[in-house]
Structure 1
Amino acid sequence: MVIGWLRMGSWFTGSTSWGKDVVSSQVLQVAVAAYALASARKKRKWGGSVRGHITYDRERAAAAIRLENDYFGPNALYNEEMFHHRLSFSPKQKYVVAMKMLAYGSIVDALDDGQQYLRKPNAQELEHILAVNKARGFPGMIGSIDCMHWEWENCPSGWGGMYKGHKGKPTLILEAVATQDLRIWHAFFGLPGSHNDINVLQRSPVFDDLANGNAPPVDFTVNGNPYCMGYYLTDGIYPEWATLVKSISAPVSNKQQVFAKQQESCRKDVERAFGVLQAKWKILHGPTRLWKAKDLNAIMLACVILHNMVIEDERNVQLPTVGRNEWPGRDNPPLHHLVNIPSIDELIDAYSIIQDQSTARSLKSDLVEHMWTLYGSNSGPFARTTRQ
């Protein structure tokens, strides 16, 4: 800066005729240099990075202290119940996440417990689910399965035809399996909205562990007949598979009416889970405005994981806690790891058993009789009480 002022002083004295009469060039250069040094030492008047911008004292330190006192202090303004209502998590959960970041020195994504909250049930958890569903009249039922559409407002124009289905707008599909407590045990997201539930099921990995021989065994008896595979409750669009039980669209007899009523009642578990998922996380309720399908997939899976965390905290279900290193073998396969890799012929045979229609019809017929025994008899738990 000083050199610039000196050059300017040299040009000024050399380009004017009256400057030599007033003061010599050496004196003027010294004066300009002195002014430049004084200006360089003087503190600038503005505090921002751009001249003229005004800075405000936002009291960030005081805000941090208020936040800690309001939520985590000994006399907190928001107690644990209010904290849970506002942020959906207990203070202990938030505290543990922060402590993990400090202790392990890594980002949140590298330390999260997402896999714990989005996986298939192990043997002990499956036993609990089967017991609950057996009490509801469906022995061998693992859960209910269905699909949900999420509108994609900023879908690229070139993909509009592929992602536009019966909704009339571009959507992405989430296939999920839920149980009575609304916990989601399976989530398959990302297929275009032009697919129907059958197309999604044929591309879904929901039966991969069963076909590979890595799923926990499910043995049960209905109406005196044994079965060796669990099943899901579905709506009418799904195919007749041995692992899927649909309702009866036009029931005629009393037995069929009783079965249809109970099946449709229990099948709504997954629809209730979708409703709670969208109500809790508003980003899933309205059209998404993001551009990349990868970002939408991350958002959906994050919401499902958070949904399961909230469900477990609210329901207070006493399910066994299994660590990542506590999966002993075939009954409890590790996450994203196949214990048994079958051959192509074995895989085809396994899927032929899963998709066997004769077993599906026999299972539904036995469930109709079993439900009538429970619901239609005077001694069953579902019997209608008669007024005297």
Structure 2
Amino acid sequence: MYYLVDKIYLERACFVKSVSCPNDHKRLKFKRVQEKTRKDVERAFRALKKRWHALKYPAPYMEAKKMSEVMYTCIILHNMILEDERNAICEYNENEIVPLIQAFEVGSAEYMSRREIVYDVEMHHVLRRDLTKHIWNVDHIDLNAEPVDDLEGQFSDEDVL
């Protein structure tokens, strides 16, 4: 699993940052696809935060597992509302099993092993290179599309899902 992030994040194995200065068509295509996808995710999350106060102002004392459960609950409720309005993003599957986050004691061998994997900068570059190759081979992505700007805070109420 990995997360699409912008330039402020460190190079970690779980983060995929955009290429800051693409010097060929392959990297340019990757940059545009990554930015468009990240923008869509941010738009969806902003819509959820508008509807659910718990996501906009999470309790600082809440454990990661509990925050994950709150997030899943808000997404399910949001989709149920949309489904009720006949505008569902996806169908609800009551048999779907949502994986629980497994916690490890800080300092344990398992914790240190996983931390080492996440902090592997080389893995970050390998993942980005592999995704760049994959995206380059996808035919339906238009390279001539307008570049995506960082539109933080630029969405109106009409953009709410």
TM-score by length of 2: 0.61
Q: What displacement does 1:296 show?
A: 10
Tell me the SS of whatever aligns to 1:251: coil
Matches within 5 A, 1:116-127: none
Instruction: Look up the equivalent residue of 1:270 and give its one-letter code.
Output: V
Change (3 A) 1:358 1:308: same
Q: Distance in 2 between matches of 1:308 and 1:317?
A: 10
* 2:79 equivalent among 302, 308, 311: 311
Once residues 371 and 234 of structure 1 are traced to their aligned partners in structure 2, the CA distance between those partners, rounded to angstroms, is 17
Distance 1:312 1:269, change over 3 A: farther
User: Do structure 1's residue 249 and structure 2's residue 17 form an aligned pair?
Assistant: no
Count matched residues.
133
Offset from partner CA, 1:80-130 (integer Å, 9 cap, x none): xxxxxxxxxxxxxxxxxxxxxxxxxxxxxxxxxxxxxxxxxxxxxxxxxxx
**CA displacement at 1:252 relative to structure 2:** 2.1
Letter in 2 for 1:360: H
Higher radius of gyration, 1 or 2: 1
Q: The residue matched to 1:272 in structure 2 has which SS?
A: helix
Instruction: Name the counterpart of 1:348.
Output: 112
Query: Shift of the alpha carbon at 1:347?
Result: 1.8
Inter-partner Cα distance in structure 1 for 2:135 and 2:110:
35
One-letter identity of the residue aligned with 1:241:
R
Amino acid of the structure 1 residue aligned with 2:140: P
Residue 2 (structure 2) aligned to one of 222, 227, 231: 231
> Would you say 1:272 and 2:8 are equivalent positions?
no
> Which letter maps to 1:382?
I
- Deviation of the 1:240 alpha carbon: 1.3
Give the letter aligned to residue 244 of structure 1: F
Q: What is the aligned-residue identity percentage?
A: 29
Structure 1 residue 360 and structure 2 residue 124: aligned? yes
Q: How far did 1:308 drift? A: 3.7
Q: What displacement does 1:245 show?
A: 0.6
The CA deviation string for residues 274-305 of structure 1, in whole angstroms up to 9 with x for no partner, is 321344358988xx9xxxx96997xxx7x854
Asked whether the equivalents of residues 29 and 143 of structure 2 are also in contact (C-alpha less than 8 Å), the reply is: no
Tell me how far 1:381 sits from its aligned partner.
2.8
Q: Hey, what's the Cα distance between the residues in 2 that align with 1:231 and 1:342?
A: 22
Following superposition, the deviation at residue 341 of structure 1 comes to 7.6
Tell me the distance in 2 between the aligned counterparts of 1:344 and 1:267: 34
Cα distance in 1 between the residues matched to 2:115 and 2:89 = 37
* 2:140 match: 381
The alignment's C-alpha RMSD in Å is 4.0
Deviation at 1:319, TM superposition (A): 4.3
Give runs of aligned pairs for residues 1-388 of structure 1, distance below 5 A. Answer: 230-280=1-51, 305-306=73-74, 308-314=76-82, 315=88, 317-322=90-95, 335=100, 338=102, 344-374=108-138, 380-382=139-141
Q: What is the alpha-carbon distance in structure 2 between the residues aligned to residue 296 and residue 343 of structure 1? A: 21
Q: How far does the alpha carbon of each residue in 1:215-263 deviate from its partner, in whole angstroms, 9 at most, with x for none?
A: xxxxxxxxxxxxxxx2111111111112111111222211111110000
Distance 1:241 1:319 in 2: 33
Deviating above 3 A after TM superposition, structure 1's stretches of 4 or more consecutive aligned residues are 278-285, 293-297, 303-308, 338-343
Q: What stretches of structure 2 of length at least 5 have no aligned partner?
A: 83-87, 145-161
Q: In the TM superposition, what is the alpha-carbon distance from 1:307 to its structure 2 partner?
A: 5.1
Describe the SS at the equivalent of 1:257: helix
SS of the equivalent of 2:137 reads helix
CA offsets 1:118-169 (integer angstroms, 9 cap, x no match):
xxxxxxxxxxxxxxxxxxxxxxxxxxxxxxxxxxxxxxxxxxxxxxxxxxxx
Structure with the larger RCO, 1 or 2 (CA within 8 Å, 6+ apart): 2
**Closer, same or farther in 2 for the Cα pair 1:254/1:282, shift >3 Å?**
same
TM-score by length of 1: 0.28
Deviation at 1:312, TM superposition (A): 4.0
2:29–2:135 contact (8 Å) kept in structure 1: yes
Task: Check conservation: 2:104, 2:110, Cα contact below 8 A.
Answer: no
Letter in 1 for 2:141: F
Which sits farther off after the overlay, 237-246 or 256-265? 237-246
